[in-house]
Amino acid sequence: MAQTVFERPKSLSDKPFTYCPGCTHGIAHRLIAETLDELDLADRAIGIAPVGCSVLAYEFFNTDMLQAAHGRAPAVATAVKRVHPDAIVFTYQGDGDLASIGTAETVHAATRGENIVVIFINNAIYGMTGGQMAPTSLPGQITQTSPTGRDVETQGYPIRMVEMLSTLDGVALAQRVSLDTPKHVREAKRAIKKAFQNQIDGKGYSIIEVMSTCPTNWGLSGPGAIEWLQENLLPYYPLGVYKDVSTNGDTVVESEV
Amino acid sequence: MADKVLMKGNEALAEAALRAGCEAFFGYPITPQTELAAYMAKRMPKEGGVYLQAESEIGAINMVYGAAGAGARCMTSTSSPGMSLKSEGISYIAGADLPAVIVNVMRGGPGLGGIQPSQADYWQATRATGHGDFHPIVLAPSTVQEMASSIHEAFELADEYRTPVIVLIDGMLGQMMEPVELPEKKETKKDKPWAVTGHGGKRAQNVINSLNLDTPGLERMNFERFERYEKIKENEQQAETYMTEDADIIIVAFGACARVSRTAVDKAREAGIKVGLIRPITLVPFTSDAIEEVVDQAKAFLTVEMNMGQMVEDVCLVVAGRAPVEFFGHTGGIIPTPNEVLEQVEKLNAEKGGDA
């Protein structure tokens, strides 16, 4: 007798993703949707879409959704959660949204210990606007607005968000994961699930930084982008758990990367 | 009938907002609105609502966006420089057709300006509250009593037309104490089937959004919004008139300036000058009907404002050359005196060949 072993998560709509080939947004969306299904949260989940490539996230998740102004998703999520404490509230934000224009909203939602989940997609570039330097672009990285490579003397250094946020008392979970290998994807899924479980348990602010690709704006193929991520991004942004209140806050950085 | 209590304008407005069913308040400290937020901090938790001091005005207005989208009756308050920071969020609130109330207790500007009373944000409130094709409803109370009674109306208008409503107050009204009869608590739970609450498996997804990449679709959304604005214009204009029946000279003034002008009208009448006052209560929609009613009899209009002359442009648009329109005002935190306004009236009366 035939048995279904793989299907589309119920928390995703029927709409096909509009992301570029080789982009990992689709995987990240799927991991969140699987989590909502497995924890039976879709009925009471409310997502906040950012400005950036994932601005259309409300088309792909079939939960209730709000689209927020650029960088303001944590403020919007704060209010939604305060108004509906029983809802499960998550934001989905890119690096420009979360780590540049929305830094104040991000830091203060975290330090207030808002009981929300923040999924932070870090691909070290602005995607939707066509490949400009991001707050997380690497030293020397060539982008449209750093055409000779990011010069740290004039353009400053990349920002490591989960490390910074892990110093705040309001944070329950700060973890960096990656979508470059099946093993890492499974780890990412576990982290995302833990973040949502934290919200159910009332533990407070959980952020999962997801190292992702942007083959289009990196000027690489899909597999080439994965390699570039492994060779360049992961050494600068070590994977691991930077804060987890359930393990007394010990930092566990993955060593093999 | 409820007893009168002596209260500061900012506090009376806050208490009245709670009685009008305000469920969530998001603020940030700035003079001269601070008492409003402080009052909310003290009272809102006892009412079981949400009070939160945001990280910035930007944070606060985006929290209002979230709470409004989640179906709560919600508000924020600020003073002029903070209003500039809120303009982004107000545009999104208008674009997503959300009901919310924003109080601006105005001070002198531009820039950091000063902390004394002003009406210099008239243009900002009525013309340029944020990017894009929209305008909010703007209410302009002129007494502490009216501050208390207009807030319920502000919430109701916001809900009915799904639009941001600005309550525009000069710092004088925010800071002054007057006897006020607080409104009774009202049950005002509106059905908001569009709000995000979690779909509960019982309905399709709700989305709160201002994005529309389909250009004809975005144009249609704007057309629909402006049809609503036309209804607002037809149905919601409010003005108070004082001694306009036989007036040759019509003063137009709102907020604190209307109080000063009313005293000037009394003094001028004692001197036999036929002068009256139109006090716009709604700035958007502008009270063009009230002006239209007297335009044929008027020999001149005089607007009195605490700015360099902003509302005078709206009066000119309505009068459309049928009578001269003059402006008198102070700015930077100075309140015009009744005698100064009287002088202007006397001057106009002499120029226009009035009776006295």
**Chain B residues near residue A84 by CB distance under 8 angstroms:** 70, 197-198
How would residue A257 be classed by pLDDT, with cut points 50, 70 and 90?
A: very low
What pLDDT does B3 receive? 81
Facing B196 at nearest CB: one of A65, A75, A104: A65
In-domain check, residue A16: no
Residue of B nearest to A89 (CA): B198
Is pLDDT above 80 for B353? Answer: no
- Residue A6 inside a domain? The answer is no
Report pLDDT for B224: 97
The answer on pLDDT for B301 being more than 60 is yes
Distance, CA of B22 to CA of B101 (rounded, Å): 10
Cis? peptide before A238, omega within 30° of 0: no
The verdict on residue A18 lying in a domain is no
With cut-offs at 50, 70 and 90, classify the pLDDT of residue A248: low
pLDDT of residue A256: 44
Kindly tell me if the per-residue pLDDT of B290 is higher than 60. yes
Mean pLDDT within A59-78? 98
Q: Could you tell me if A160 and A67 are in contact, meaning their C-beta atoms sit under 8 angstroms apart? A: no
Residue A84 has pLDDT above 50, yes or no: yes
Q: How far is B92 from chain A (nearest CA, A)?
A: 7
Residues 6+ apart with CB under 8 A from B289: B237, B239
Here the CATH number for the domain that contains residue A113 is: 3.40.50.970
Position A1 scores a pLDDT of: 74
Q: In the structure encoding, which two tokens stand for residue B251, read together?
A: 């003063």
- Omega of the bond prior to B285 within 30 degrees of 0, cis? yes
Residue A56 pLDDT exceeds 70: yes
Q: Cβ of B339 under 8 Å from any chain A Cβ?
A: no
Q: Say whether the ipTM exceeds 0.90.
A: yes
Token couple for B49: 């609502």
Query: How many domains is chain A built from?
Result: 1
User: What pLDDT was estimated at residue A73?
Assistant: 98
**Distance to chain A for B85, nearest Cα, Å:** 13
- Is the pLDDT at A253 greater than 80, yes or no? no
**Chain B residues with CB-CB distance to A72 below 8 A:** 58-59, 62, 65, 89
Looking at residue A255, its pLDDT comes to: 47
Q: Which of A36-50, A139-153, B82-96, B341-355 has the lowest mean pLDDT?
A: B341-355
Of residues B52, B56, B196, nearest to A80 (C-beta): B196
- How many residue contacts between A and B have a Cβ separation below 8 Å? 134
What average pLDDT score do residues A198-218 get?
98
Contact by Cβ (8 Å): B15, B43: yes
What pLDDT, on the 0 to 100 scale, is given for residue A2? 85
- pLDDT by residue (tens digit) across B206-227? 999 999 999 999 999 999 999 9
Range list of H helices, chain A:
25-38, 57-60, 73-83, 95-96, 103-111, 152-155, 161-165, 182-200, 215-218, 222-228, 234-236
Sign of CA dihedral B149, B151, B157, B160: negative
Residue in B closest to A84 by C-alpha: B197
Structure tokens at B110: 């531009």
The answer to whether A105 touches A76, Cβ cutoff 8 Å, is no
Instruction: Decide if A80 contacts B69 (C-beta within 8 A).
Output: yes
> Does residue B92 belong to the interface with chain A, where contact is any CB pair within 8 Å?
yes
Q: Quick one: which of B284, B230, B207 has its CA closest to A56?
A: B207
Which residues of chain B have a CB within 8 Å of the CB of A196? none
Helices A73-83 and B57-69: crossing angle, nearest 10°? 50
A44:B88 CB<8 A: no
CA-nearest of B274, B282, B267, B271 to B300 is: B274
Question: A75 and A50 in contact (C-beta within 8 Å)?
Answer: no
pLDDT of residue A249: 55
- Name the residue range of residue A160's domain: 25-251
Tell me if A65 and B201 make a contact (CB, 8 A cut-off).
no
| Residues of chain A positioned with their CB less than 8 A from the CB of B198 | 43-46, 63-64, 84, 86-88
Q: Which residues of A touch B52 (CB under 8 A)?
A: 78-79, 82
The CA distance from B348 to B342, in Å, is 10
Could you tell me the domains of chain B? 4-235 (3.40.50.970), 239-351 (3.40.50.920)
**Residue A59 CA to chain centroid, in angstroms?**
18
Choose the closest CB to B200 out of A43, A69, A88: A43
Going by pLDDT thresholds of 50, 70 and 90, the confidence category of residue A200 is very high
Whether the pLDDT of residue B139 is over 50: the answer is: yes
Query: Stretch B253-270: mean pLDDT, rounded?
Result: 98
Res B352: pLDDT: 81
Q: Is residue A8 part of a domain?
A: no
- Residue A132 predicted with pLDDT over 50: yes
Tokens representing residue B28 in the block: 């940030």
**Interval A16-31: pLDDT, tens:** 999 999 999 999 999 9
Facing residue for A84 by CB, picked from B63, B92, B197: B197
Supply the pLDDT for residue B186: 85
Measured between CB atoms, does B218 come within 8 Å of chain A? no
What's the pLDDT score for residue A27? 98
What are the Cα distances from residue B147, in Å, to B119, B142, B179, B208, B343? Answer: 16, 7, 12, 30, 30
Q: Round the average pLDDT of chain B to a whole number and report it.
A: 96
CB A75 within 8 A of CB B54: yes
Task: Name the helix (H) or strand (E) containing A91.
Answer: strand A88-94
- pLDDT given at position A251: 63
